[in-house]
Amino acid sequence: MIKNKKLVLLFFSILAGLTVILTPFIGMETIPFDTILHFGDSSIKSDIFWRIRVPRVLIAFIVGLALSIGGMTFQAMFRNSLATPFTLGVSSGAAFGAALYVKMGIIFSLAGITGQTIFAFIGALITITIVYLLSKIKKGFSVGTMLLAGVAINFFFSSFILFIQFMSDFTHSFRIMRWLMGGFEVIGYTDIYNILPFILVGTLIIVLLSTELNLLTLGEDLAISRGVNVNRIKTILFIATSLMVGGIISVVGPIGFVGMMIPHISRLIIGQDHRYLVVLNIIFGGSFLVLCDTLSRILIAPAEIPVGVITALLGGPFFIWLLITNSNNNTTI
Amino acid sequence: MNNILFDIRNLSYSVLKKEILHSLSLKIYEGDYLSIIGPNGSGKTTLIKCLIKINKTADDKIYFKNVPIEKVTQKKLAAQISYVPQVNEQSFSFTSREFVMLARYPHLSRFTSITTKDRDAVRDALNLTKTTQFADRSLNTLSGGEKQMVFIAAALAQGGKVILLDEPATFLDPKHENDIYEILKTIHQKTNKTIVTVTHNINSAILYSDKIALLKNGEIVYCGDSDKITENNILQDAYDKKFTFIKHPTCNKSIILPEVL
């Protein structure tokens, strides 16, 4: 842990700034700096930069930050680094909601929000409720059991998604599969508008409740005795996380492990005070996913690796490392 | 007679359909130093968890300053009552100062930051408990006794009139045990706070507290002066065991002598 927290935040802010500014130039087609200044003429390179790369970097950033603080919130509430929306099955619940919407073939939107997003949000919320009720049924439900329940929930929804795929025609099925890998290939500004309200609201709630998150990491009993209305705060946080996860999943598909790696590494760097931790997660998580996405563009160019594959390749070993290093300690954060 | 702080009226409480407390009644007065003792499973911890709504009770069973506690918000309750849980093996990577500062939560409002008053409260609490020396160390690096002191510092910084403690010294060595009881005595005398401890150690209850409440099977079987607990086979009946008593040479109170087997 580094003592000077403000310095850490400054350093990562600079890093994040550089990442966001520089990465749009990098890809299958490297874009020279002067081309982007020609707004008027529609040269292909300027088009690639402004219409494809910039929105893609922006959405990778906001998705990365939202996944990170969503993960951080779950880790604080369940008091374990392994407990994240992804590992507890919330992401697959959201994915099932979105897939169900696609399969049903109805198209609607509510106040500018697509039906797919609403379905994903509901899927996330239902799964979170299941997970929470499971943890409530028995006091002292161990985190190990929670994670196993998460695995079961994952299997359950994956099977449903497979079933939906099976019932769909070939092209449709491929689209669902590709979307399930998670990625930013077909992102435009409209996707950003679609996802932004969810992430803004969720982020704002979590930032405002960072002191409560600190108290929740002490355990429910202590948090209550310090004056936290635990049930209400947890409900608000669950809804905030569902909003973000649902919004993300419906647009870019499930992107795993970011919500586990970034909050954990951030905690090692800046400590457990969520007032700082949440800020580091925002700038670090955002730039991390932008970097992963840049890798996904250049590693096997001209083809692309779905970014969800890259994060999973990094996250799998990380998960196992966490399991090993924390095996003799139930509370790992 | 001092004012009544807690008035518990016919409180029953069940965990998983098993009734732990059976229509228990107890009054705790302002300025009391009360120890709650009793055999394993008699409901001691359950009882003090009810007092701060960690355990949610039925309406109109517990009154705090003549108001049913379910009508008081958690934050307002926390501003007046603080709680020290059983020493736990959990790890917290907060520093002692951060941890004690978190106890100021009931006095913070959402949009204002920490004030000088909060900082002063934290500093005073650390000073009184002599934990200033490890204020900037992570709780994980402290020994059981040091950690318990920091927990007591947090309870002090929380600023209420009552401190509830669950087994404050049970797993500590004799020196740290003494330190804890000494600091509790100081807190009780200097700041006139009401102290309620749950403990297994009958002797320390007799020696350090003014009153004792004895629980058996979820009912109060004795509540009164701590030095009278050794009279009339009260303990024998509660614990189902014979006790040998001896007068403490310096304070003239009867305490329990360990048995020779």
* CB within 8 Å: A331 and B90: yes
User: pLDDT band at residue A128, thresholds of 50, 70 and 90?
Assistant: confident
Q: How far is A202 from chain B (nearest CA, A)?
A: 17
Banded model confidence at residue B195, pLDDT cuts 50, 70, 90: very high
CB–CB of B108 and A331 under 8 A? no
Q: Assess B77–A contact: CB distance below 8 Å, yes or no.
A: yes
Quickly state the pLDDT bin for A67 (edges 50, 70, 90): very high
The SS3 of residue B216 is strand
Q: How confident is the model over B162-171, as pLDDT tens digits?
A: 999 998 888 8
The structural domains of chain A, ordered by start, are 5-27+44-325 (1.10.3470.10)
C-beta atoms of A329 and B78 within 8 A? no
pLDDT above 60: residue A25: yes
Predicted pLDDT of residue B151: 92
Contacts of A215 in chain B (CB under 8 A): 102, 105
Cβ-defined contacts of A152-157 (< 8 Å, 24+): A152/A89, A153/A88, A153/A89, A153/A92, A153/A93, A153/A127, A154/A89, A154/A92, A156/A89, A157/A89, A157/A92, A157/A93, A157/A95, A157/A96, A157/A123, A157/A127
pLDDT at A327: 47
Mean pLDDT value of segment A219-225: 89
Which pLDDT score is estimated for A41?
A: 60
| Mean pLDDT value of segment B126-131 | 88
CB A96 within 8 A of CB A161: yes
Q: Is the pLDDT of residue A206 over 90?
A: yes
- Min Cα separation B136/chain A (Å): 10
Residue B115 to chain A, least CA–CA distance (Å):
15
Q: For testing the chain A interface, which of B14, B15, B74 should be mutated: the one with the most A CBs within 10 Å?
A: B74
Say whether pLDDT at A18 is over 70: yes
Q: Note the pLDDT of residue B78.
A: 92
Model confidence at A112: pLDDT above 90: no
- CB distance from B196 to chain A under 8 Å? no
Band (pLDDT 50/70/90 cuts) for residue A39 is low
Interface A–B counts its CB contacts (< 8 A) at 66
Position A208 confidence tier, pLDDT thresholds 50, 70, 90:
very high
Of A226, A267, A272, nearest to B78 by CB-CB distance is: A226
Joined tokens for residue A124:
């996330």
Task: Specify the higher pLDDT residue, B85 or A331.
Answer: B85
Cα B129 to Cα B144: distance, rounded to the nearest angstrom = 15
Residue B140 has pLDDT above 60, yes or no: yes
Most confident stretch, A36-40, A183-187, A320-324, B44-48: B44-48
pLDDT score, position A149: 84
Question: Quick check: A221 and B85 CB within 8 A?
Answer: yes
Average pLDDT, stretch A157-174?
84
Q: For B149-159, how does the pLDDT look when each residue is reduced to its tens digit (9 = 90+)? A: 999 999 999 98
